[in-house]
Amino acid sequence: MSNHNVKNSPDTPQPTSVGISRREAFWFWFKLGFISFGGPAGQIAMMHTELVDKRRWISDKRFLHALNFCMVLPGPEAQQLATYLGWLMHRTWGGIVAGTLFILPSLLLIVSLSWVYMAYGDTKIVAGLFYGIKPAVTVLVIQASYRIGSRTLHNPWLWTIAVLSFLALFVFDLPFPLIIAVAALIGWLGGKRSPESFSVGHASTAHKQSTTTAIIDDHSPQPPHTLFSYRRLYMILSAAVVLWCVPMLAMIMLWGWHHTITQMAWFFTKAALLTFGGAYAVLPYVYQAAVETFAWLTPTQMIDGLALGETTPGPLIMIVAFVGFVGAFAQSALGPDHAVLSGIVAACVVTWFTFLPSFIFILAGGPFIESTHGKLAFTAALTGVTAAVVGVIANLALFFAMHVGWPDGWVGGLDLKVAAIAAVAAVAIFIYKRGAIETIIGAALLGYFVAN
């Protein structure tokens, strides 16, 4: 959609530009992929500032409408929003480019850092840095639980769901998909009995609504490529089946169903369909499989992976690339002489199977959402899932605190140095409102000096 015109009428203000070139869009998404720090909230705010306020490529209402759709989908909402906006501006090409460039820099960095971690993780420098990073990451998870809880738990119904989901994981160790399914059912039933308790407003970027005219404005006619058609839907779904089946069948034929990388592909396909509430919500599910079921990683490695995810651009769910690399590297999945190649292949495979559903959701569902502009709302079932996510993240925070603060178990006692670093990080985050990156860097330096 290189020259997308707004509605031409005397009553409609004309935009300052005649369109958005593919070249402009490409370099914007390329740049965003390298600077998208700050988690989904920061990434969404960054896109809003650039696309709505500065460049005026899209209006505030159209941006929020797209965001609402992405918020109710499983998967990383910021990456899906980039895909949606890229598709809205430049058809399927634009969506694929925007979504890919949003994660590609992160994948390259995670693979590189994962190799450094596996090759030099036992050196004093790297071990000291991670000694400080891990308590800071624990505090960040606690902050995530608090932030989502304060925004979500507005009545006893939702508090009850959150507490039950916490107990289901912490006490009974129930499977994450079961918890999500039950929470959705409770939300659906609760919405029938008490609709006001399970209704939420539209997502917000914490910015004032833009009043300037945008290229894709509130009154812009719906572009032809955004019109819903069954033919296009069938084409996308057929492509999705091919893009999933061909690599999966190739791995089964080459390595067999029970091979480490094949199992990773199958597991992260399931995980991609369950990531309601963002990466923090699905991490317990990843932990259950990667650490307890398949033994791809140790608990310490899982925490270290989250630390890497927090300090690199892109969606936090890119921790899956770390899980794939470390798991395949440690097991030399492609042979004893190919540990690094095993890690690289596994990281790419799990990234493919994790993000493929996100692209399909947007490209298949986008036309329907554009046809319902101004009418999209959260469902009661999804409100129940969001409440459960708070309990899930609280369980994750407790899990990290136990493994970081008591590395040798309860008998070994609390590591007072770790507790002190966590306290400093908590003050920086909760009192001085410092960002995740600067807090982690400061904690890493503090950890290095304390450990050595």
By the 8 A CB rule, do 52 and 58 touch?
yes
With pLDDT > 90 as the criterion, what percentage of the chain qualifies? 32
Where is average pLDDT lowest: 30-34, 149-153, 189-193? 149-153
By the 8 A CB rule, do 414 and 405 touch?
yes
Confidence tier at 236 by pLDDT (50, 70, 90): very high
201 pLDDT more than 60: no
The half-sphere exposure of 373 on its side-chain side, counting CA atoms within 13 A, is 20
What value does the mean pLDDT take over residues 205-229?
66
Where is average pLDDT lowest: 7-11, 75-79, 125-129, 320-324? 7-11
Q: Could you tell me which residue, 373 or 409, shows the higher pLDDT? A: 409
What value does the mean pLDDT take over residues 160-176?
87
What value does the mean pLDDT take over residues 386-395?
80
Q: Which range, 1-5, 21-25, 246-250, 438-442, is most confident?
A: 246-250
The half-sphere exposure of 234 on its side-chain side, counting CA atoms within 13 A, is 3
pLDDT confidence of residue 17: 37
pLDDT confidence of residue 206: 41
In tens, the pLDDT along 240-253 reads 999 999 999 999 99
In tens, the pLDDT along 67-117 reads 767 767 788 888 998 999 999 999 999 999 999 999 999 999 999 989 988
- What's the chain's average pLDDT? 81
pLDDT confidence of residue 56: 86
User: Which residue in the block uniquely carries the two structure tokens 């958005």?
Assistant: 20
Confidence tier at 3 by pLDDT (50, 70, 90): very low
Q: What is the 3-state secondary structure (H, E, C) of the chain?
A: CCCCCCCCCCCCCCCCCCCCCHHHHHHHHHHHHHHCCCHHHHHHHHHHHHHHHHCCCECHHHHHHHHHHHHCCCCCHHHHHHHHHHHHHHHHHHHHHHHHHHHHHHHHHHHHHHHHHHHHCCCHHHHHHHHHHHHHHHHHHHHHHHHHHHHHCCCHHHHHHHHHHHHHHHCCCCCHHHHHHHHHHHHHHHHHHCHHHHCCCCCCCCCCCCCCCCCECCCCCCCHHHCCCHHHHHHHHHHHHHHHHHHHHHHHHHHCCCCHHHHHHHHHHHHHCCCCCCHHHHHHHHHHHHHHHCCCCCHHHHHHHHHHHHCCCCCHHHHHHHHHHHHHHHHCCCCCCCHHHHHHHHHHHHHHHHHHHHHHHHHHHHHHHHHCCCCCCCCHHHHHHHHHHHHHHHHHHHHHHHHHHCCCCHHHCCCHHHHHHHHHHHHHHHHCCCCHHHHHHHHHHHHHHHHC
Q: Could you tell me which residue, 281 or 85, shows the higher pLDDT? A: 85
373 pLDDT more than 60: no
Confidence tier at 61 by pLDDT (50, 70, 90): confident
CA 215-19-363 angle, to 5 degrees, is 80
202 pLDDT more than 70: no
With pLDDT > 70 as the criterion, what percentage of the chain qualifies? 86
C-alpha–C-alpha distance, residues 238 and 252, integer Å: 21
In tens, the pLDDT along 337-357 reads 999 999 999 999 999 999 999
pLDDT confidence of residue 78: 84
Give me Rg for the CA atoms of the chain: 22
41 pLDDT more than 70: no
Confidence tier at 217 by pLDDT (50, 70, 90): confident
pLDDT confidence of residue 11: 36
1 pLDDT more than 50: no
55 pLDDT more than 90: no
Confidence tier at 280 by pLDDT (50, 70, 90): low
pLDDT confidence of residue 257: 96
Structure tokens at 2: 């290189």
209 pLDDT more than 70: no
C-alpha–C-alpha distance, residues 43 and 202, integer Å: 18
